[in-house]
Amino acid sequence: MKKLWGGRFTKTAAQWVDDFGASIHFDQQLVEEDIEGSIAHVTMLGECGILPKEDVETIKKGLMELLEKARNGELSFSVAYEDIHLNIEKMLIDEIGSVGGKLHTGRSRNDQVATDMHLYLRKRVIEIIELIRQLQHVLVEKAEQHIETLIPGYTHLQRAQPISFAHHLMAYVWMFERDRERFKESLKRINKSPLGAGALAGTTFPIDRHLTAKLLGFDSIYENSLDAVSDRDFIIEFLSHSSLLMMHLSRFCEELILWSSQEFQFIEIDDTFATGSSIMPQKKNPDMAELIRGKTGRVYGHLMALLTVMKGLPLAYNKDMQEDKEGMFDTVQTVIGSLKIFTGMIETMTVRTDVMEKATRQDFSNATELADYLAKKGVPFREAHEIVGKLVLTCIERGLFLADLPLDVYQQASPLFEEDIYEALDPYTAVNRRMSAGGTGFKEVKQAIEKAKQIIEA
């Protein structure tokens, strides 16, 4: 089959060589962006007097028809035309005749593909930002229901100090807020037009890059034509922000998996987000949470892959850069899918407040309260720590918790202990007293929820 660039060739490549070089299998996902970019380009060619108005109208009409067909899934692509750009150009020429061949005036596939990717990513990033917001909304709603629900707080996965369950949920709300900010902030770099950079050096035609940028809704244009066609930092940045988001989701998934185990029983994942075992009838597995945790790996992989593809490339365009697409498409799909599933899982999970609460009473996570108690009475904290450590040891030896030890044992350890220690040992009191900014005290948590609501609903 004759190639659109076949003029200087005397032989054609074998089918399997063409297959290796083609990107149409995956870049057909850019079909709408590709046609939209072409419509803007040809409109500008008309406005600048580079093409006659009649030709522009014919080409535009042809492109509109192709766009309509693309939206209805009626286009069929061919490996013979390598990628989405040449496929569309060929279809246009087939549809409207040789005038279609004027579309590529003053343009290259190099600025074309970069433009498509910017348009594609802008749309998806806006979608991702909104999905993160919806997840935050669901988390804040859950948090509001559980301000006074107590749960053990952990360090080293050992019980450390009791906290409000809402406080734990809100920790993720703020992580997701930073993720959302990062994506939002990246839009100003994504929303830049490379169109009109040509193959690498610009063009001799009197084009208007600002006009195509405006028609496509870009805020600004790339200042340098070499840079415009040869960097993929905007995609790497997207993969990097996606990696961080997936890392946050994955950690949360790990907690849901732990919490829903027989050992914790803090939550129950809804039947609609769990699966059974083909052999063990009793099983209810947190598959969706595990999958999100697992899929984090492929997103990290795509980030490493593209960083590596780019690191040795001389300016400007190199075919290596065709490798930027599959990882980006897969990341978009993975991130959007994970956010939707995760939000549904949180929305529908059952919180076992009784089990959580009981856990905070059957451990030594109130030991810090005792040390603080002595420190407030003037005992150097390091000595207070030692005294309470010994009391914990006494409890372990006797099979008791701190709240079960009689007052005389306390007073033997330090005459400063009085009846009010039992009040201090209560996990509810312990949580409520942590009033430092950003701490787990109920008042603080309420304020944090209000603040988050304002940011999220803004």
Name which of residues 78 to 97 contact ligand ARG (CB under 6 A).
Answer: 83
Q: Burial of 272 by CB count in 10 Å (0-12 exposed, 13-18 middle, 19+ buried)?
A: exposed
Instruction: Tell me if 274 sits within 8 A of 287, measured CB to CB.
Output: yes
Region near ligand ARG per CB under 6 A, out of 164-172, 314-322, 332-340, 356-364: 314-322
115 binds ligand ARG (CB under 6 A): no
Tokens of 408: 């005389």
Q: Of these, 50, 92, 236, 321, which contacts ligand ARG (CB under 6 A)? A: 321
CA-closest candidate to residue 44, choices 206, 164, 254, 240: 206
Tokens of 439: 């701490």
CA distance 133 to 49: 45
8 binds ligand ARG (CB under 6 A): no
319 binds ligand ARG (CB under 6 A): yes
What is the smallest separation between the CB atom of 298 and ligand ARG, expressed in angstroms?
Answer: 21
322 binds ligand ARG (CB under 6 A): yes
146 among known catalytic residues:
no
Count of residues binding ligand ARG (CB under 6 A)?
Answer: 10
Helix runs in 146-232, H state only: 165-190, 209-215, 225-230
What is the smallest separation between the CB atom of 324 and ligand ARG, expressed in angstroms?
Answer: 7
CA distance 72 to 273: 32
228 binds ligand ARG (CB under 6 A): no
186 binds ligand ARG (CB under 6 A): no
Region near ligand ARG per CB under 6 A, out of 315-323, 338-346, 404-412, 415-423: 315-323
User: Which whole-number Å values give the CA distances from 426 to 2, 194, 250, 357, in the listed order?
Assistant: 82, 63, 33, 11
317 binds ligand ARG (CB under 6 A): yes
Region near ligand ARG per CB under 6 A, out of 122-130, 232-240, 266-274, 317-325: 317-325
> What DSSP character marks residue 248?
H
What is the smallest separation between the CB atom of 113 and ligand ARG, expressed in angstroms?
Answer: 4
Sign of CA dihedral 240, 242, 248, 250: negative
Query: For residues 230 and 243, which CB has a smaller minimum distance to ligand ARG in the complex?
Result: 230
Q: CA 399, 404, 407: angle at the middle one, nearest 5? A: 125
What is the smallest separation between the CB atom of 320 and ligand ARG, expressed in angstroms?
Answer: 9
What is the smallest separation between the CB atom of 329 and ligand ARG, expressed in angstroms?
Answer: 12
29 binds ligand ARG (CB under 6 A): no
* Measured distance between the N- and C-terminal CA atoms of the chain, rounded to whole angstroms: 56
Query: For residues 31 and 395, which CB has a smaller minimum distance to ligand ARG in the complex?
Result: 31
Q: Burial of 225 by CB count in 10 Å (0-12 exposed, 13-18 middle, 19+ buried)?
A: buried
Tokens of 171: 């920790």
426 CB-near residues (< 8 Å, 6+ apart) = 366, 403
CA-closest candidate to residue 180, choices 233, 117, 217, 137: 137
Name which of residues 376 to 435 contact ligand ARG (CB under 6 A).
Answer: none
What is the smallest separation between the CB atom of 240 and ligand ARG, expressed in angstroms?
Answer: 21
Backbone angles phi, psi at 389, to 5 degrees: -55, -40
Query: For residues 309 and 359, which CB has a smaller minimum distance to ligand ARG in the complex?
Result: 309
110 binds ligand ARG (CB under 6 A): yes
Catalytic residue among 156, 168, 240, 243: 156
33 binds ligand ARG (CB under 6 A): no
Catalytic residue among 78, 220, 261, 277: 277
What is the smallest separation between the CB atom of 23 and ligand ARG, expressed in angstroms?
Answer: 4
Region near ligand ARG per CB under 6 A, out of 12-20, 105-113, 254-262, 431-439: 105-113
Query: For residues 197 and 249, which CB has a smaller minimum distance to ligand ARG in the complex?
Result: 197
156 among known catalytic residues:
yes
CA distance 62 to 57: 9
3-class secondary-structure state, position 341 = helix
Query: For residues 29 and 136, which CB has a smaller minimum distance to ligand ARG in the complex?
Result: 29
CA distance 428 to 250: 30
442 binds ligand ARG (CB under 6 A): no
CA distance 166 to 152: 12
35 CB-near residues (< 8 Å, 6+ apart) = 63, 66, 67, 70, 88
Region near ligand ARG per CB under 6 A, out of 107-115, 177-185, 210-218, 293-301: 107-115
113 binds ligand ARG (CB under 6 A): yes
Query: For residues 110 and 149, which CB has a smaller minimum distance to ligand ARG in the complex?
Result: 110
List residues binding ligand ARG (CB under 6 A): 23, 27, 83, 109-110, 113, 317, 319, 321-322
Catalytic residues: 156, 277
